[in-house]
Each structure stands twice: as C-alpha cells, then as structure tokens.
Amino acid sequence: QVQLVESGGGLVKPGGSLRLSCAASGFTFSDYYMSWIRQAPGKGLEWVSYISSSGNIIYYADSVKGRFTISRDNARNSLYLQMNSLRAEDTAVYYCAREVGATGRIDPWGQGTLVTVSS
Amino acid sequence: QSALTQPASVSGSPGQSITISCTGTSSDVGGYNAVSWYQQHPGKAPKLMIYDVSYRPSGVSNRFSGSKSGNTASLTISGLQAEDEADYYCSSYTSSSTHVVFGGGTKLTVL
C-alpha cells in the first residue's frame, strides 16, 4: 500500500539546521508532486513547500523562503527538506505528503516527524 | 491567521447532520474547484475525506459530502457517529505562490 515515512526530526537550537527525509513506497514516486506540511503544537496545518514530479517546479511558504530547501531523489524514492536558520516558531510536526494532480489534493500523509527548536 | 476561515467548533448528537463552512476569496475557494477536506484525530496524521469540492476518495463513507457556493465551501456529515469526533480542515488551491492554503480547523464534538 502507499506509505510515506518521515525521519530526521529532533531537538535543535535556534539558528541550527536539520534535514528531514521521507521514504516513499507503494506507488511510482517519480509520477507525483510532493509536499511538506507542518503543524505547530495545538495549532492548525500550514503548507510549507511543494516540488513537482521532476523537481523543476518548487514553491515555498513565505515563512520559510530563503531558509528551507526542498528536494527529491526519484531513484531513491525519497523526499527531503533541508531546514537552516531554524527559529522557535518552526517547532512543529512536519508531514510528508503526496499531491495528486497539482491542485492541492493531498493524499496520503506520512505519520509526521517532530522538530523542536529550543535552546 | 489562516487564509481560509472555518468555525472553531461545531457539535451535534449521534444521528444528526452538521455542516462546517470554509470561506476564502476568489483567488482560492471561489476561483477553483480544488477544495479538499481533511479529518484529523488526536495524535494522528490528517486523512483526505473530500477532494475537488465534492468527490469522496475510495473508502470514505458516503455520510461525508462537500459543496461550494461562491467563495464558501462546506462539508456536511450526516448520521453523526462517535468516531466522527475529530478536527476537520479545509484547503484550497490558490493562484498565489503559496500554492495551497488551509483553514484554521474546526473541532467537531459528538454529544
């Protein structure tokens, strides 16, 4: 079945860096757009970044632009999020998600990985 | 402040129907038939319930339905069941560089 498994979360100090990974299985990864979406503790969902199937189209939320970099390796069925200059407000569960089409239909979602930015 | 506006909470008794609204603008909800609804139980990942305004993914109960009028989309759950108690989020494709915008979420309580 379709599965997305995130890894790489943890505790990091403000200004630090972290790289999240997402391993995909059960579908042809290279056919799909992929997104990262986050949820701060007790808060709602916030779309973070999106990458097209070939990687040539990338979007970022204004809140992370210039600090985060999304990438993918279709040969390894993997999605990545490099997060630099982390701030306390980046603390959240980060979900990897498959986008069906290019109009925001997100299905499925991974189980999420928690990123905590604190000194 | 979320881009799409949802009520913070709604409630209903088992067997009843409830509707959750999601209001945006002509740049998102009103401009595209690309509204989705997600159900999230505590500690779990969101699950797609409705896409493209009114389509249900395979396996989702037909008690869930979606609609749209102008800049407002709606999710209706009929025949409420205890397991429907969860947070519900709407989202929409947007013409801005943000690509996808979410609502702030609605907590559904089954009384």
Residues B10-44 have pLDDT tens digits of 999 999 999 999 999 999 999 999 999 999 999 99
Q: Which of B39, B100, B101, B106 has the highest number of chain A CBs within 10 A, making it the mutation to test binding with A?
A: B100
Stronger pLDDT, A104 or B20, i.e. the higher one: B20
The pLDDT score that the predictor gives to residue B3 is: 84
Angstrom distance (rounded) from CA B92 to CA A105: 9
- Percent of chain A, pLDDT > 70? 100
More confident residue, A80 or B2: A80
How far apart CA B86 and CA B73 sit, in angstroms, is 19
User: Tokens 């797609």, residue?
Assistant: B48
Alpha carbon of B83 to those of A116, B39, B41, B42, B69: distances in Å?
A: 31, 11, 9, 12, 28
Kindly state the tokens that stand for B35: 């509204």
In this predicted structure, what is the pLDDT of residue B2?
65
State residue A104's pLDDT score: 82
Give one word for B15, left, alpha or beta, with left for phi > 0 and alpha for psi -120 to 50: left
**B58-110 confidence digits (pLDDT tens):** 999 999 999 999 999 999 999 999 999 999 999 999 988 778 999 999 999 99
Q: Which of B99, B102, B106, B107 is best to mutate for the A interface (most A CBs within 10 A)?
A: B99
Cβ-defined contact of B100 to A35 (cutoff 8 Å): yes
**Which residues in chain B touch residue A112, judged by CB atoms under 8 angstroms apart?**
45
Kindly state the DSSP code that residue B58 receives in the 8-state scheme. Answer: T
Q: Calculate the average pLDDT of chain A.
A: 96
pLDDT tier, A11 (very low <50, low <70, confident <90, very high otherwise): very high
Task: Using pLDDT thresholds of 50, 70 and 90, give the confidence band for residue A102.
Answer: confident
B93 SS3 class: strand
Instruction: Give the mean pLDDT of B39-61.
Output: 96
Identity at A46, one-letter amino acid code? E
Q: Please tell me the distance from the alpha carbon of residue A43 to that of residue B73, in angstroms, as a whole number.
A: 21
| Chain segment A16-29, per-residue pLDDT in tens | 999 999 999 999 99
